[in-house]
Structure 1
Amino acid sequence: MPLIIDIGVAPANEDCAQLGITSDFGAANRLEVLAYRAAIIAIHGAPPEGCRLEPKSSHHDFGTYCSLTLIVTDEAPVGTAHAYAAVVEGGLGNWTEAAMAPPITYREGTARWHKRTASDVVFGVLMSTRPDDDGKFRIPAFASIHANLSAAYEAEAARFAALRGELA
């Protein structure tokens, strides 16, 4: 039987959509979970063979919400899968750990959307963590964040590379 670890809906110290309160909760919750998936990948890399980071629906008295889970299949190489699970199960504290701004911010009961898709979230991080023209990264952590997201999100990396080519 696969091992399923609930990582959460967003970094632990961040505001997130609230079931029964946030307008357009389903879309906001889904975006935050997919952005959180990208943040985990930015820091820890893509899941190894036999592991998947996926949204999982859960039912509550007020409705259905999604949470990010790590699914470790029975076929997963034990050492690699368990090592990955050990580093991701605690989640992140803040979006900024992954060089991300929150996709949605909340103030006085109002949600302000800054990004509409997970693709736009990833593309924004690729832009903000990009190397200078000499290939050096302004902040050392940007090198691994940029590499991890480029490897895991090929379409966004190609879009970034095409734009970067236009700017050169």
Structure 2
Amino acid sequence: MPITIDLGGAPAEEDCAQLGQTADFARINRFEVLAYRAALIGLFGLPPAGCVLKPQANHHDFGTYLTLGLVIGDEADLGPARAYAEAVEDGIGSWLEAGMAPPVTYDDAEATCHKTDVADVVVGALATTRPDGTGRFPLPTFATIHTNLSAAFPAEAARFAALIGEPA
């Protein structure tokens, strides 16, 4: 039987959409959860075979909200699955840890989306974490984030390369 570990809906120290308060909650909640998925992939890589990071519905008296779940399937090799689960289970504190600006900011319950979709969030993180002209990364974590996002989101990596005039 698959095991699901709930990883939350956004970095722990960040504001996020609030069920029953945020206008257009369902859309913004999904956007934040998918951006959070990209942030965790940037820092920790794609989940190992037999595991998947995906939105999970949670039912509440006020409605349904999403959080990110790590689903470990029956076919997963438990060694790599356990190691990955241990790496991601505490999540991250802020979007900046993943080289990302907050995709949504809040003024009271009013949300302002700064990107149109998760692809834009990934391209922004690739821009933030890119190497300098000599190929060196200003921070070791940037190398990890840039490499992981480029591998996990090849279309976005090609789009970023085209934006800066480099071959994909």
Task: Give the TM-score normalised by structure 1.
Answer: 0.95
Q: Distance in 1 between matches of 2:164 and 2:81?
A: 35
Q: Distance in 1 between matches of 2:108 and 2:67?
A: 24
Pairing 1:1-168 to 2, within 5 Å after superposition: 1-165=1-165
Q: Distance in 1 between matches of 2:166 and 2:157?
A: 14
Note the C-alpha offset of 1:6.
0.3
Q: Distance in 2 between matches of 1:119 and 1:64?
A: 25
Q: Which 4+ stretches in 1 moved above 4 angstroms?
A: none
Unpaired runs of at least 5, structure 2: none
CA contact (8 A) 1:9 1:36 kept: yes
CA contact (8 A) 1:31 1:116 kept: no
SS for the counterpart of 2:149 is helix
SS for the counterpart of 1:165 is coil
Task: Give the TM-score normalised by structure 2.
Answer: 0.95
**Are residues 81 and 138 of structure 1, via their aligned partners in 2, closer, same or farther at CA, if it must alter by over 3 Å?**
same
The number of aligned residues is 167
Stretch deviating more after TM superposition (132-141 or 41-50): 132-141
Note the C-alpha offset of 1:166.
5.9
Q: Distance in 2 between matches of 1:109 and 1:77?
A: 43
Q: Distance in 2 between matches of 1:28 and 1:96?
A: 19
Stretch deviating more after TM superposition (104-113 or 20-29): 104-113
Amino acid aligned to 1:101:
A
CA contact (8 A) 2:23 2:109 kept: no
SS for the counterpart of 1:86 is helix
Q: Distance in 2 between matches of 1:25 and 1:90?
A: 25
Per-residue CA deviation, residues 9-39 of structure 1 (Å, 9 max, x unaligned), is 0011111000010000011100100000011
Note the C-alpha offset of 1:165.
2.2
**Are residues 32 and 51 of structure 1, via their aligned partners in 2, closer, same or farther at CA, if it must alter by over 3 Å?**
same
Q: Distance in 2 between matches of 1:117 and 1:163?
A: 17
